[in-house]
Structures are given as structure tokens and as C-alpha cells.
Structure 1
Amino acid sequence: MGDPRMSLPTENPRKVSNIVTAQLANFRTLYDPLITDLPNLHYSDPACAQPDWKADPAANARLTQSMDPKMRGNMVRRLPKVFRQKLYYQYQAKFQIPGSAFDSIIEHARDEDATSFRRREGGAFEQRIAADVDGLSDVVRGVIRSTVKWPSTTQSLKGLLTGGPRKSWRYLTEKWTRSREGGAVADKGTKEKRA
């Protein structure tokens, strides 16, 4: 989300899926400790409690989540600091919170040091954000897009400028070809599912 290259016909539309599928056990190993540390997330499939489940591609790793605003507010509080601040600013606008009241909310949220949280539990503002069940996912997606967009755009432009016109053209042509091949595979899979 947010990477402009994914909206151009130069990237395989199945790129992310291909990466995750090829490295599924590694992704599960990476993210499982984070998931099991969150008190309101649980694997739906009891087989995920077995020690070797991460290597099983057939394991159903779907999660269930408590929708209790207090529990979800704790998750909002545990977001990375810069990302969380961007989310707060989006909700300042969405909830129409005046500047002075919002400054007080931000000041209350600044009880962490450089190495850790001193308060890992969400307060009233985080709980109010978490209670926005219908809108929270859209706001989070918007914050992800805005976080990813600038670095990925500048990286793309740097690549084009530093590679020179000939290398850049050859690179773009190869990417375009792979994109079309990936799109054809995706279209074929969709047609087969419909049949």
C-alpha cells in the first residue's frame, strides 16, 4: 500500500502474494511472537498451538480478535510512536478535536522513553479510536499509504536517475514484461475459480 510502483504496469500484481507464499514459514516465525504477545488476538485453529505448525502450509493461521475497545485501545497504544502519532492526527480531524484539547491528549500519550513504553495500556483517546470499528481499518490504511508513499517514490526516482537512461529503460522493460506475465497468471487463476 502506498508504493506508486504497484499502481504502474511495471510490477507483478501478485508480487506480495508471491513473496509471502514462498516464505510463509519464515513470516510465521517472524510474526508469531508478536501475535502471541497481544492479549486480544488468538489463532482460530488449535493446531497452531503445536510446535511445528509454522512449517505446515495447510495450517489455518486465521486470527480472532476481541473487539472490546479497551483491549483494542491497548493495541493502538502499542503501535510504533511515529505511526501512532500520524493516526492520532487523522483522528483529531475525524473527531473534530480542537487544538488545545488535542495538545493535552498528545501530552498524555508522551509517557515513554527512548527504549520502552512506561504505559502500555491505551487511555480514553486510544479506546475511542479503537471503538471506530467501521472506520479504523480505512484510517490505518491511509496512514500506511502516507508512510510508504514518500520513501518509495524517492527511491524509485533515485533508481531512474542514478541508473542512467539506457539501464533504466532496460529495467523498466523487464519489469513491464514480468508485470504482464504476472497479470496473465492472476487472470487465468481468476477464470479457473469462476469455472
Structure 2
Amino acid sequence: MMLQSARRRSLLFTRSISRPLSTETNPPSPSLSNVPPPLPSNRSRVRFSPAPRPPQPSSYSPRVQISLPYLLPPNFGRNQVLSVPDSTRALLEEITRSFDAPIRYAFAYGSGVFAQKGYSKADASPPLLDFIFAVNHPSHWHSINIHQNPSHYPLHARFLGSSFIAQFQGIEPGIWFNAYVPMNGVMIKYGVTTIDNLCSDLINWNTLYLSGRMHKPIRIIKDDTRVRLTQQVNLVSALRTALLTLPESFEEDLLFEKMAAFSYGGDFRMRFGGENPRKVQNIVSAQRAQFKELYWRLARGLPDVHWSQTSTIINQDMFPRARSALVRKLPSNLLHRLETQYSRKYPVPSPDADSSAFWLSVGGDKTLSSVIEQELREIVRGPATVQSLKGLVTTGLNKSIRYSAAKVGKWWSSRNSSES
């Protein structure tokens, strides 16, 4: 009875997000059957909060799926499983496993995990290893973590307690960062959010703070069925949005740069020296293979998009009907903003009176690309600014100054190198 109830809830959740994925027309392969994988025959190890899987031997293959129960086919979302060197993988898993507090989903990202132009292993100050942990109950999680790792938190946070930390974490974009934490011989920064907040941002693009980071290559350390599904929606949404801002024919690098830039567009740090102005180009130039692994299969599933696996040129149909089909599948927050903008420009027909005609007019608008980019900047600007200010509380004044100084130093170095 409990298993049937869990499956019914999973089916309802799957249906609720099926709209953004519904334009994929390629017939499913035999390996992507709708029949769920069989339940394990031996479930002797049952724990409320299972630890991350232990490091695998050197023969580990990144194509091997992390087990996902129930409704997802065995190969669903295989594009999300990106390989890293065995030494890096083992380090990431060892760090994650060292936390006593239960982590439901974890990933690592940034220049400490995947190569970026401008960084090298010979650097005197290697980049921080960046983590995001999604948990069920933040107050409980921080209570356990403060007891285990009190030095990760500033003094005032330890004094005010886990309830204060959880409430402060909940301020949009809904994440708490602990930075400059020494663990296993490296320096890390980790953010804590709730599984609900993460999945909501992946589907709706409420803030693009978490979903935007996950448009770029990440290394999944501990997986979760719900996040695997919503992350696939997030990647398809990024692909559709980027296509709407690009011409009929373009290089794949331009597509990757568009998607990598979504979370930076409205971030004030990009304008005032808090980030390397060539950060997006540096990411794409060093991670081209990972971007293609993330997006190529998804693009092949979209109608009116033509991208050979052996080619770097992408072509798309620019007819208003094809573009309006892409627009109508955008995440709800961005779609609502576009509807508000174009309701002023095209009062007749209104979206309520004739939805198809309204979106057909939007799809044929010559300024659609610039309108989308402007709305993306508006989505990012507020939450990015708030999170930067939250850093004064979450990491403390000294660490905030240290982190900001490091960012400005990178910006200054990149400026000098570009001028020379």
C-alpha cells in the first residue's frame, strides 16, 4: 500500500512538469522504456539518511548510472552524468561523505572541478571547490552541522542557532553559504538549500540562482530522482531560451555561451569588477565537450532544430509558428514576464481571447531576442544582489572581504591580460 501511494505521488509530480518536455519528438529507444526498473531484491541496508556512495575503484565509468528508483527509465538523464578525473571524484565524494547531517542531493561545480581558461594546476592559490547541498529540513541539518563543524559558521550564527540560520537561508534565493572551509587538504565553499527550493527554481526559474549554475557542467555527487527529472526540464528550458535569442544558423560555441551567461546577465558583480568579464568565454572554451554532452541529445529531440553530432554548426527554423512553440514552453516565471510585456505591445488579440494568435505574434516579433535577454537580467538582478548582501551574515565580514578581494583580483588580472 505504501509503495503504491509513493508511485501515485511520483506519477502526479511527473505529469505536473511534463509540459516543458513535451515537444521532444524523437521516438524513444528500447532502453528508454516507460516500465520502471525492478525494485532491488535485497534491501538490507535501509537508513533514513543514506550516506553518499563510497569512492569507486579506478575502473569506474562515468556512463554507469547512479541508481534511481521507480518511474525513471535506466538511461534517463544520462547526459547529466559528466566525468571527472578519478582523483577529483574520490575527493568530492570523500568531502561530501564527511558531513554527518543528511544530504539528499549534492553536486560540485566551478573551476575547482572542471577546467577553466585562466586557471592552471600550477597556480599558487588554487580555486575553491564549490558545492551545493540540497536537504529536506534545513534547521535540523544546520543543528547537526553546527555540532559537528562549528568552525564553518561565524560566531554570531553559532550564537543565534540553527533556527535563525534556516530562516535566514530561506530569504530569496534560498541558500546559505559557508566559505573558506578547509577540508581534506583543500579549501571549499558549500551552499545549503532545500530540495523544494532547488526543484522549484529548476522548473520555474524563480531566481535563476541555482538553475543558472546548473545550466553549466556540474559533477553530481549524490543523486535524487526528483532533481534528476527537474534538472532535465531545466536544461531543455535553457536550450529553448537560447535558441530564441540566436539567428537561423550559428556556431555551437555561441549556443553554449548564451546558456552559460544566463545567471550572470543581471549580476552586478559583472559590472563592478566582482567577476572576470571574460568568465563565460573562459568556461565554454575549456568545457566544450561537457556542454555538448549536456545538450546535444536534448537539441536532437526538439523539432525544427538541426545539429549533427560531428558538426559545430546549428540550424533552426525561424518561422513565427516554430518560434511561438518554443516561447510557450518557457519556464513559468519568464513566460509570465513575456506575456506582460507583449500584452502592452499586442493588446489585440489578448492572450485570454486568442492564445494561439497572441503567441504567434510574439514568435514573429523582431525584438523577441532582446526582450528575453532583458527579462532574464531582471530575474537575476534582485536575487543575486540579495545573496551578495546575505554573504555578510552567512560568512562573516572577514571572509566576505577576503572572497570579494579574490574576485576583484581575478577581474584585474583578466583586464591587464586583455589589454596586453
Query: When the two structures are superposed, what TM-score results if normalisation uses the length of structure 1?
Result: 0.72
When the two chains are superposed, the root-mean-square deviation of aligned CA atoms in Å is 2.0
Alignment of 1:1-195 (within 5 A): 1-43=265-307, 48-49=308-309, 53=310, 60=312, 62-95=313-346, 97=347, 102=350, 104-105=352-353, 123-133=356-366, 135-188=367-420
CA–CA distance in structure 2, aligned partners of residues 42 and 33 of structure 1 = 11
Change in Cα spacing, 1:187 to 1:94, as seen in structure 2 (3 Å) is farther
SS at the partner of 1:63? strand
SS at match of 1:146: helix
Q: Which amino acid aligns with 1:6?
A: M
| Aligned-residue offset at 1:125 | 1.5
Q: 1:20 Cα deviation (Å)?
A: 2.0
Deviations 1:42-63 (A, max 9, x none): 13xxxx33xxx4xxxxx52x32
SS of the equivalent of 2:395 reads helix
Is the contact made by 1:77 and 1:126 (CA closer than 8 Å) also made in structure 2? yes
Query: Contact between 1:13 and 1:179, CA under 8 Å: does it hold in 2?
Result: yes
> Which SS does the other structure have where 2:306 is aligned?
strand
Secondary structure at 1:104's aligned position in 2?
Answer: coil
Could you say what secondary structure the match of 1:180 adopts? helix
Structure 1 residue 129, shift from structure 2 partner: 0.5
Amino acid at match of 2:412: R
Unpaired runs of 5+ residues, structure 1, are: 54-58, 110-122, 189-195
Hey, what's the Cα distance between the residues in 2 that align with 1:7 and 1:165?
Answer: 22
Q: Is 1:42–1:64's contact at 8 Å kept on the other side of the alignment?
A: yes
Give the structure-2-normalised TM-score. Answer: 0.35
- Code of the residue aligned with 1:166 in structure 2: it is N
Structure 1 residue ranges, 4+ long, deviating more than 3 angstroms after superposition: none
Higher relative contact order (CA 8 A, sep 6+): 1
Shift of 1:81: 2.1
Q: Distance in 1 between matches of 2:386 and 2:359?
A: 32
In 2, distance between residues paired with 1:87 and 1:170?
39
From the two aligned structures, give the one with the greater helix fraction.
1
Tell me the alpha carbon deviations over residues 73-111 of structure 1, each in whole angstroms, 9 at most, x when there is no partner: 11111212221111111111233x27xx64615xx76xx
**8 Å Cα contact 1:40/1:72 also seen in 2:** no
